[in-house]
Amino acid sequence: MYQVGQDACAVCYPGLVNISGTYCFMNSTVQALSSLAYLQPHIESIHAKAEALDVPTPVIDALRDLIHALNDPRSRPSSIRPLELISVLSSAGRANSLFSSREHQDAQELFQLLSECIKSEIAAIDKEGARDRGLGDLSQEVETKIGKSVFDGLTANRRSCVVCGYTEAVMHFPFDNWQLAVPPMTSTCLLEDCLSDYTRLEVLKDCICRKCSMTATHRRLTQEIQTLSQVENPSASKKRRLKDVKKMAAKVKSLLDEGRVEDELKDVRMEKVISLSTKQAMIARPPPVLVLHINRSMHFSHYASKNNIRVIFPEVLDLTQYTTSGNLSTVPTSSLSTPPPHPKRSTTPTPEPRDSSSRTIYRLSAVVCHFGQHSFGHYICYRRKPKNSSGKLEDKWHPPRLVIEVLDEASASSPIKREPGAEDTQAEGEDAEGFEEYIWDDADPSTAAGTGRGWLRVSDDAVTEVGIESVLQEGSGAFMLYYERAV
């Protein structure tokens, strides 16, 4: 079923049949993936290399066919039975409780499964490409590794001791989606609040500091040296012990002086000192597709519940303040990284070009919503309506391109603040300061805010065209947000 406001639709896009009655978690996730401009060319590239190297990629093949079908406009309403994708995900090598159970399942777990399968098949292609490289014509086709998935990013994680100032090496960890906690005792929050909470400087009271422990160890050894040195007529064993302790103390002091705190110390009993510490995580490498999981689960002693807090999320997300810049701080009480300053407010009404090198801007492409309770309910998807263009793949599937940001003098002088719980009165693209508007290369007046067009609301096989204003009102049901990075 396909509906669009009160007008007859020129084209219809298919939905997905809920095969078992509980597969809405899969249907909503696949519809969300079908909206991603970064994913389609990525899958085509993987598919082409897999064909050239004769590497089986059953999940990518099934997903590719399904994405093509979901973005193919029809002349009348229709729906697709996603049997092939269910089959490959349920195969012996990928046995998973998501498909073997009739119980309510999790859309985030389905995304995780698909993401892991894609990465696994990419790794198999790259491995085969490396083995065959140099074999004549084939080497030209597989010269470049596929590498990372479009969902893959890196976080930078730092832990520092407030007492001695020692900072462990800044560790980097891969991620393909971010799980954001929501506050438990309020009715409304901003998505930016959740991101700020994830990246905030956190105080730890139960961490063992390596440097404080080495310092305490050296202090203990020094005291033992003093004690042994004062013994009159020491025995041979005490002489040997004094010699050994002096060697150990010298080794520990040398490592402390040279800053080699993490080096292993054999045959030295280390003290364990618990010190006040801080830790922080920020995004070091933003992914092309940022997937945010709104974790609404609340666990109690004997049961789990769902937090129905309204999370206000924007169409355009500026991730700059949550990402690292070129310089990383090791000061325990300072932020891991300081973002570049926000663009200055304009003193003229003329548009100013965006400084793309210093900003990390994302645009919303899909939202998966959950309605119901923790252990039962229904998933739906809001996704951008496909571009109805023919021709080359890159013409239809290109990342969101930010043409300019308009910095308006009038709104700069009287910014509109967006407060939790208040009605969203901002114009499309206006940020929390109220003076910024984003203009995109694919802007279409017929699908602008207020027209009720430009997005699809998909509930299994029921597809309805809606506007961005309907999407942004679904804060209470928002479960997964799919943002694509602007270029």
Indicate if 280 and 376 belong to the same structural domain. Answer: yes
Indicate if 153 and 99 belong to the same structural domain. Answer: yes
Tell me how far apart the alpha carbons of residues 23 and 16 are, in angstroms, rounded to a whole number.
Answer: 10
Indicate if 245 and 385 belong to the same structural domain. Answer: no
Indicate if 246 and 395 belong to the same structural domain. Answer: no
In this structure, what CATH number is given to the domain that contains residue 103? 3.90.70.10
Indicate if 134 and 235 belong to the same structural domain. Answer: no
Overall domain count for the chain: 2
Indicate if 326 and 229 belong to the same structural domain. Answer: no
For residue 393, what pLDDT is reported? Answer: 62
Backbone angles phi, psi at 433, to 5 degrees: -85, -15
* Helix H or strand E encompassing 361: strand 361-373
Residues 343, 351: contact at Cβ < 8 Å? Answer: no
Give the domain extent around 117: 2-208+276-485
As averages over each run of 10 residues, the pLDDT of the chain (487 residues) reads 50 92 93 96 94 94 96 92 92 60 77 94 90 57 74 94 90 94 91 95 93 96 94 90 94 94 91 94 95 88 82 96 81 76 48 60 96 86 84 73 64 41 44 58 86 94 95 95 94
Indicate if 474 and 400 belong to the same structural domain. Answer: yes
For residue 247, what pLDDT is reported? Answer: 94
For residue 429, what pLDDT is reported? Answer: 47
For residue 435, what pLDDT is reported? Answer: 38
| Domain limit, last residue, from 272, 299, 324 | 272
- CA-based max dimension of the chain: 105
Q: Which amino acid is residue 254, in one-letter code?
A: S
For residue 465, what pLDDT is reported? Answer: 95
Q: Positive or negative, the Cα torsion across 41, 42, 48, 51?
A: negative
| Domain limit, last residue, from 225, 240, 272 | 272
3-state secondary structure of 132: helix
Tell me how far apart the alpha carbons of residues 406 and 435 are, in angstroms, rounded to a whole number.
Answer: 8
For residue 160, what pLDDT is reported? Answer: 93
Question: How far does the chain reach from its first CA to its final CA, in angstroms?
Answer: 35
Residues 461, 267: contact at Cβ < 8 Å? Answer: no
| Domain limit, last residue, from 272, 287, 320 | 272
Indicate if 144 and 217 belong to the same structural domain. Answer: no
For residue 94, what pLDDT is reported? Answer: 52
Indicate if 201 and 222 belong to the same structural domain. Answer: no
For residue 142, what pLDDT is reported? Answer: 47
From residue 361, how far is each of 140, 241, 486 by CA, in Å? 35, 63, 6
Tell me how far apart the alpha carbons of residues 296 and 299 are, in angstroms, rounded to a whole number.
Answer: 10
Indicate if 153 and 264 belong to the same structural domain. Answer: no
Indicate if 254 and 287 belong to the same structural domain. Answer: no
CA proximity to 281, closest of 431, 166, 180:
180
Indicate if 393 and 244 belong to the same structural domain. Answer: no
For residue 349, what pLDDT is reported? Answer: 41
